[in-house]
Structure 1
């Protein structure tokens, strides 16, 4: 079998990196030694830690963040973009790349421009609304996939979001006791998992930690990832325990320990929570183009999630609206059943086969576009 060299472009945040790594794992599962994976990133992003941890080669190129409003950065943008494209093409030549797969983020746009007319491109859009990089890349991609309908990418195949197998195949019930022991949580108390994305979210941190005493009084244990750049203050001696950590390296165990999640509704967060079959309270990021609220809409419609606006989230609202969902077994069980009914299918494998098919078609004389 011919070896296929794949360049993955999805750096910056975990929301761009995790789907890329899920597809990388699926490619290896399908093709084994007949596929070579190289990830593209910048020195600014979480990929500098996440990609090597998963065993893949990471090559760095200059970051090219696109200014969100007119500024002096616009004057230097063309030069920085040319530098990133040149660096990307050097990686493509060195690795003899057959196909570029982009997931949005800082490195995706220079990767698309570097690949145009040279090797085929596959684009995957994780969010409910596509970002600029993927809108550009989709115009000359050989294949385009999206998580949901209405992403803004014409002709996109709707496949969902790829989630790593350690989550999509997670048996939460079987791991619950181990997971709670791992984090030092009460083995029997209903447990709330709280996080605000890879960087944390101060609004969520303040609201939930501010309700720590009330959560304990209602018999609720808490596992709270507050972000490496943030801090929270939690009263000591609470029972059930309130465990606060800067980051969760074992999301499989975090999900297994939980009965309910309170989190932002980034695309990959929503996909992971859906894949493991947990009910959720989402607090959409109030910035951007409203995609986080849209990301959560499917689970809200199915009855497995509710939304609280960021501006409304306070310790009082946590007690009034979140606590009942955790302690009311009938309501929580109904939400859990709805969540289980939406559990993800193997999107990672669907995308991996798409990538391999595009590369094979290009080798046989198809148009790389």
Structure 2
């Protein structure tokens, strides 16, 4: 019997890339002889991160539509046609058994072509409010693995399987890693640690907030690990000190989560899923600049079950200092949030998604 062949596509941000890598790793465990190929968008971060994880990747000449008139928008039809042709060439040459999309610019044309060619396709939808690409792709997909309930208004009910979002395996057991984490990041064990996460590219408004509140936070016997993102590192690295570590990217997420006492984070789907497993007190600051405001909806799914706090960007000036200081001093509230967010975790998500894929192969 020939080894199975899998094509995975997910990119643009870590929130699309790492779930795809997690799924590939699980399938590789089950099928050590299987062949894997990733397809991403040229010049996006997946072109570096996927090879670092040990997989081959091919790039498509594709990008998203901007919200205003730009040259990039004028080029979109040409990029789309080019990507559709290249996707067909890749699929014909590689001959995959299954094509899996976790979101990002490249997954649209790739899954569209795969479905048209009669290849089994699986969508992994991470958000509580799907984007237009996955809504369109869902009509021809064989299965849709979702992380939230009640998505019937977006997807065919008979194709949906509630699995949760894939997360890195090393996050599932961080309980015993605190000492190692304190040593790794050279932290003061007597101080509280605030972890600030703005996503792999960074979040301007979150960075501006931390810059403004830096002295006040440190004055409360708090040390900070501030992941400002690669777009903003040069601007904020000047704040590096013994109490403030400014980084563009964090490789050891297991250790940084283990070290954290309180976390401030955007509400991308992967981040939310990771934070549920980590079970630390979280203040979500959703990005309002995403399709259908889906980050706010992701955060509200947790906040409505008393598993986190939510601050919108327009509330930061007036509410942040009070909310942060109250949470920092209220150990009862910290425990309550931690317990409730953990109840929403789906640590078996990657295995469940792999089960769906295997079932489709063996039909």
Q: TM-score with structure 1 length normalisation? A: 0.90
Q: Are residue 159 (structure 1) and residue 163 (structure 2) matched?
A: yes
Matches of 1:317 and 1:237, distance apart in 2? 27
Equivalent position to 1:297, from 300, 308, 314: 300
Q: How does 1:1-369 map to 2 (within 5 A)?
A: 2-33=2-33, 35-68=34-67, 76-118=75-117, 119-151=119-151, 152-155=154-157, 156-167=160-171, 169-172=172-175, 174-230=176-232, 231-232=235-236, 241-287=243-289, 288-314=291-317, 317-361=319-363
Query: Could you tell me which residue of structure 2 aligns to residue 366 of structure 1?
Result: none
SS at match of 1:299: helix
Do the aligned partners of residues 73 and 247 (structure 1) sit closer, same or farther apart at CA in structure 2, a change above 3 Å counting?
A: closer
Matches of 2:265 and 2:155, distance apart in 1? 27
Matches of 1:263 and 1:110, distance apart in 2? 31
SS at match of 1:207: helix
Matches of 2:68 and 2:362, distance apart in 1? 41
Question: 1:18-76 deviations in whole A, cap 9, x for unaligned?
Answer: 1111111111122222x222110122211012111111111112114235456665664
SS at match of 1:124: strand
Matches of 2:224 and 2:326, distance apart in 1? 14
Question: 1:238-280 deviations in whole A, cap 9, x for unaligned?
Answer: 6xx1221121111111101101110110111101111221221
Q: How many pairs were matched up?
A: 355
Do the aligned partners of residues 301 and 234 (structure 1) sit closer, same or farther apart at CA in structure 2, a change above 3 Å counting?
A: farther
Contact 1:44 1:63 in 2 (8 A): no
Contact 2:12 2:44 in 1 (8 A): yes
Q: TM-score with structure 2 length normalisation? A: 0.91
Do the aligned partners of residues 237 and 199 (structure 1) sit closer, same or farther apart at CA in structure 2, a change above 3 Å counting?
A: closer
Contact 1:12 1:44 in 2 (8 A): no
Query: Could you tell me which residue of structure 2 aligns to residue 365 of structure 1?
Result: none
Moved more, 36-45 or 253-262: 36-45
Do the aligned partners of residues 79 and 235 (structure 1) sit closer, same or farther apart at CA in structure 2, a change above 3 Å counting?
A: closer
Deviation at residue 236 of structure 1 after TM alignment: 6.9
Do the aligned partners of residues 150 and 73 (structure 1) sit closer, same or farther apart at CA in structure 2, a change above 3 Å counting?
A: farther
Query: Can you give the 5+ residue segments of structure 1 that lack an aligned partner in the other structure?
Result: 362-369
- Using CA pairs below 8 Å that are at least 6 residues apart, which structure has the higher relative contact order? 1
Alpha-carbon RMSD: 2.0
SS at match of 2:116: coil
Do the aligned partners of residues 359 and 170 (structure 1) sit closer, same or farther apart at CA in structure 2, a change above 3 Å counting?
A: same
Moved more, 302-311 or 143-152: 143-152
Matches of 1:352 and 1:210, distance apart in 2? 44
Matches of 1:233 and 1:31, distance apart in 2? 44
